[in-house]
Structure 1
Amino acid sequence: MNKLLSCRFNMDTNRVEAQFEDETVLALDCIAIEDEYGNTPAQRAELDWLLYNKPLEYAQMVLRGETEHYLSLGCDHGWLED
């Protein structure tokens, strides 16, 4: 996969739009992600927090398939930070 350069949350479509190094743009459907992984209010709140505050990290987590693992850690903001 190409390097992920930037992300932005589009409130009108409720999607994170991710742009890659090769200029490909991918839209992540945040409602579908929450429906799949947000089983509790705390998990949904954590996904929302990431979405609004760190859309790049949100996209990286989803694209790497780490959403379930992240939420299993107890919804502690910021474990994705270097």
Structure 2
Amino acid sequence: MSKLLSCRYNMDTNRVEARFEDGTTLAINCTAIEDEYGNTPAQRAELDWLLYNKPLEYAQMVLSGEMERYLSLGCEHGRLED
């Protein structure tokens, strides 16, 4: 697989659209990811936070199979910050 160059979250389709170095594009269905990994409200909030703030990292974790491990660490980005 070639290098992942950019990603953006498309709110209209609820997909992260990824573009690779070789020109390939890929759309990740965020509803399917949320159904697979968003087992708690905290995990769903974290997935939402990643979508809006770090779509590139979101795509990298989905493609590398690291999303479950990441969410198991109990990240709290989805909380409202002071």
Q: TM-score, normalised by structure 2?
A: 0.91
Deviations 1:36-57 (A, max 9, x none): 0000000000010001000000
Between the aligned partners of 2:7 and 2:39, the Cα distance in structure 1 is 25
Count, aligned residues: 77
Q: Percent identity?
A: 84
Match of 2:65 in 1: 65
**Where in structure 2 are there 5+ consecutive unaligned residues?**
78-82
Give how far 1:76 is off.
3.9
Between the aligned partners of 1:47 and 1:75, the Cα distance in structure 2 is 10
Match of 2:5 in 1: 5
Deviations 1:24-43 (A, max 9, x none): 00000000000000000000
Query: Deviation above 4 Å: which 4+ runs of structure 1?
Result: none
**Where in structure 1 are there 5+ consecutive unaligned residues?**
78-82
